[in-house]
Structure 1
Amino acid sequence: MSKQTQNLKGQRFREALEESGLTGAQLARILDLENDQNITNWKARGVPAYMVGDVALTLVVEREWLEGKDAPMRTASTERHPPRPENGSPLYVLELMSPWDSGTPLDADEVELRLYKEVEVLSGPGKTPRMEVQEVTGPKLRFSRATMHSCGVDPSNAVFAINQSSSNHPLILADATVGIDTGMTRIVDGEMYAIDHDGHFRINFLQRTTTGIKLKSFNSAEFADEEYEFEQIMAQRFVILGRIFWWSSIRSLTAPPLI
């Protein structure tokens, strides 16, 4: 690679990082890098090929642009900034919501997320039913590609599920819908993950320990921390489904008071 190309890639990385509002240390943590020295190197030489896809998704820029190619920094699917106001008009305007149902065609910026849930299955004739977390055919959730790009999520890796627990109340309410990035299963300490724990769907903050992992709940007053060693993780069918990148709750008029 020529020195000129390295300089261009480094310059574009610095520009994307500055616009993102992230510090180098924060980006290193999101990407699960051992330290932020990589970020310092990238500012000078550009992002290496094996990381450029993840970095482009996280910083919400086009991969080809970040690679120093003749391409726009962002396109319609990655554009994050609203247009500048003209003639003194307000920057943000409240608009009516657009209702839709299962028969409404997807917009160009939308994708359909698949539903994951606990399902009771039989292992064979005469066997005791057991639970598994698996994709369920039928229900879908419409979601914006731009929103996923801003979260660093590849739309092909996004699924959704329904939270049935109060372990993270009031951060995530029971029956809330959560978005899961199945492409992000490596543990970043302090991030929240969806977990298949012996067939049961769980949402917890994860933290690595010297002998395994620790599970933490936002509702720590009612749900104590749990620690599992590597042998227990293997024995209990413990699978990290992905990182929680979004959640939403619907509040009915008959719901009990929150406080």
Structure 2
Amino acid sequence: MHALDINQRELSERIGISQVAVHKLVSGKTKQTSKINELATALECDPAWLGNNDDVGDMGEAQWRGVETWDSHTPLSDEEIELPFYTSIELSAGSGSFTDTENTGPKLRFSKATLRRLGIEKANAVCVNVSGNSMEPVLPDKATVGIDTGDKTRIVDGAIYAINHGGLLRVKVLQNLPGGGIRLKSYNSDDYPAEDYSAAEKQDIEIIGRVFWYSVLLPR
């Protein structure tokens, strides 16, 4: 999956099963699926590599063709690019704030095909961390998100955006309101109710870009 730059959410959408089901397959908790052919197509491999018939086997093993290890010294392939990862900037997913100045840390690898498919220019794509729990369980504390800074002129209801709200960098689900207003929503709505702002108040909210990718570490 890493070599193809497919996360579990994208894989679940491609083969038509839940992300939870994909996680169970990847972790080896589930060893059978009726979606063996769809899974093989999504992973660009022969179904035989995934096991006999519906028996997927341990999806965490290196039997997946195309999955290989690499580090910062591994050269980029012709179909890969690196995006800047600003480790000193954190998007607040709560009531916190960001600290330090902009500083480029390690770079994250993406396939060119992924950005082409999403219509994202490399120059507009950056990665940062999320801090706080207002976007849990989708974006838990310390999740990493990819932001398309070129996609900020039109708000798509229900999409996740990075915003500069009066000097505070935040990540929220945005929704248009009648009269030109805007609503900021959190996935953790019990602790963080929606915030509504009028068209006038909206002037203090600058859209940095739309979140097009995220990565989280699952608890063990």
TM-score (ref. length: structure 1): 0.53
Q: CA deviation at 1:192?
A: 1.0
Q: Distance in 2 between matches of 1:171 and 1:252?
A: 13
Residue 220 (1) aligns with residue 177 (2)? no
1:95-121 residue CA offsets vs partner (Å, 9 max, x unmatched) = 3743333332212111111234538xx
Q: 1:147 aligns with which of 83, 89, 114?
A: 114
Residue 201 (1) aligns with residue 169 (2)? yes
Q: CA deviation at 1:252?
A: 5.4
Q: Which consecutive unaligned segments of at least 5 residues does structure 1 have?
A: 1-20, 22-80, 120-129, 254-259
Runs of 4+ in 1 over 3 A off after TM superposition: 81-85, 116-119, 130-135
Amino acid at match of 2:47: P
- Structure exhibiting the larger radius of gyration computed from Cα positions: 1
Contact 1:115–1:135, Cα closer than 8 Å, also in 2: no
Q: Secondary structure at the match of 2:133?
A: coil
Name the residue aligned to 1:189.
157
Q: CA deviation at 1:91?
A: 7.2
Q: Distance in 1 between matches of 2:170 and 2:85?
A: 15
Amino acid at match of 1:217: S
Aligned-pair identity in percent equals 40
TM-score (ref. length: structure 2): 0.61
CA shift in 2, pair 1:90/1:167, >3 Å: same
Equivalenced residue count is 159
CA shift in 2, pair 1:100/1:200, >3 Å: farther
Q: Distance in 2 between matches of 1:184 and 1:91?
A: 41
Q: Which consecutive unaligned segments of at least 5 residues does structure 2 have?
A: 1-13, 15-40, 51-63, 91-96
